[in-house]
């Protein structure tokens, strides 16, 4: 709702269609990141993986950032080997933690493979509930990304800094309540003939509309041409693992 005398035009006056209200959110944010050049498919995969890990931590499904958690678990396992007996499986060194990290690691590896097989217009991270009716939905929209090769493309690090600086300024997680441990499902859009053996095709899947949604749009500028991803050629695939969140 606009503040009186703020001088900010309404969403209608800017010519944008106002989306329907979704359950559990006053307004669904839409964050845009425009890269000043072309990127590679490998970079798109890295953006997706880093956003996945970031969202898991921000929504309290990982008690520490992913890399820190890996180091902690590795040190815990080394202590067990030194004393030659299992330590108490509590908190960060529990079996649940190790299982969640194992599933996440496998997903990250399979995402790298899939991005080599097909262009990926969109990735959905569905938290809580079911993939058809989640509590929260995070959309990584890469339809506006222009892919290049070799020296004509941007390096990953400045692009990642740009993404997370934009997220930091937008602060989309501050108004969300803390949550209990939930499952996270991953849906990814790819070419129907890409040949993936790990991800499962879901031909009739429809993106949920009634949930809290955050869309992160990645694109490139200048954009000489817009790629069109038709429903006849591009379908949804689901990761066969559900990432189970855990807390201390």
**Domain assignment present for 190:** yes
How far is 30 from 170, CA to CA, in rounded Å? 9
**Domain assignment present for 84:** no
**Domain assignment present for 150:** yes
pTM for this structure? 0.81
pLDDT tens-place string over residues 149-164: 888 899 999 999 999 9
pLDDT tens-place string over residues 57-79: 999 998 888 898 888 777 766 55
More confident residue, 29 or 22: 29
The yes-or-no verdict on residue 11 having pLDDT over 70 is no
Segment 33-60 shows an average pLDDT of 96
DSSP string, 145-181: --B--GGGB--HHHHHHHHHHHHHHH-TTTTSPP---
**Domain assignment present for 222:** yes
How far is 155 from 149, CA to CA, in rounded Å? 11
Segment 212-230 shows an average pLDDT of 84
How far is 243 from 108, CA to CA, in rounded Å? 12
**Domain assignment present for 91:** no
3-class SS of residue 183 = strand
The yes-or-no verdict on residue 184 having pLDDT over 70 is yes
Q: Tokens for 196?
A: 């993936």
Of 207, 163, 210, residue with least CA distance to 187: 207
For residue 122, what is the domain's CATH number?
A: 3.30.900.20
What pLDDT does 18 receive?
38
Angle at 132 between CA 105 and CA 184, to 5 degrees: 25
**Domain assignment present for 187:** yes
How far is 172 from 216, CA to CA, in rounded Å? 10
More confident residue, 131 or 19: 131
Cα Rg, the chain, nearest whole Å: 20
Please report which confidence band the pLDDT of residue 225 belongs to, taking 50, 70 and 90 as the band edges.
low
How far is 221 from 165, CA to CA, in rounded Å? 18
**Domain assignment present for 81:** no
Q: How many domains does the chain have?
A: 1
pLDDT tens-place string over residues 201-211: 999 999 998 88
> What domain range includes position 48?
30-61+103-244
Find tokens 């955050």 and name the residue: 214
**Domain assignment present for 86:** no
The yes-or-no verdict on residue 241 having pLDDT over 90 is yes
What pLDDT does 223 receive?
62
CB 192 within 8 A of CB 237: no
């Amino acid at each position: 709702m606009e503040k009186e005398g703020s001088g900010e035009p309404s969403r209608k006056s800017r010519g944008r269609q106002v989306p329907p209200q979704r359950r559990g959110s006053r307004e669904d944010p839409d964050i845009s990141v425009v890269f000043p050049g072309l990127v590679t498919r490998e970079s798109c995969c890295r953006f997706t993986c880093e956003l996945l890990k970031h969202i898991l931590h921000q929504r309290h499904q990982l008690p520490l950032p992913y890399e820190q958690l890996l180091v902690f678990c590795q040190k815990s396992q080394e202590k067990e080997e030194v004393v030659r007996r299992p330590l108490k499986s509590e908190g960060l060194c529990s079996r649940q933690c190790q299982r969640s990290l194992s599933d996440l690691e496998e997903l990250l590896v399979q995402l790298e493979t899939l991005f080599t097989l097909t262009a990926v217009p969109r990735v959905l991270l569905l938290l809580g509930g079911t993939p058809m009716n989640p509590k929260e939905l995070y959309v990584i929209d890469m339809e506006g990304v222009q892919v290049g090769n070799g020296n004509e493309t941007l390096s990953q690090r400045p692009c990642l800094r740009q993404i997370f600086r934009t997220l930091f300024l937008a602060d989309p997680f501050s108004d969300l309540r803390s949550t209990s441990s939930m499952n996270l499902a991953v849906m990814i859009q790819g070419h129907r003939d890409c040949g993936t053996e790990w991800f499962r095709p879901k031909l009739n899947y429809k993106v949920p509309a009634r949930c809290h949604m955050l869309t992160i749009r990645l694109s490139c500028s200048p954009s000489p041409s817009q790629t069109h991803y038709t429903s006849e050629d591009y379908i949804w695939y689901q990761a066969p693992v559900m990432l189970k969140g855990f807390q201390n």
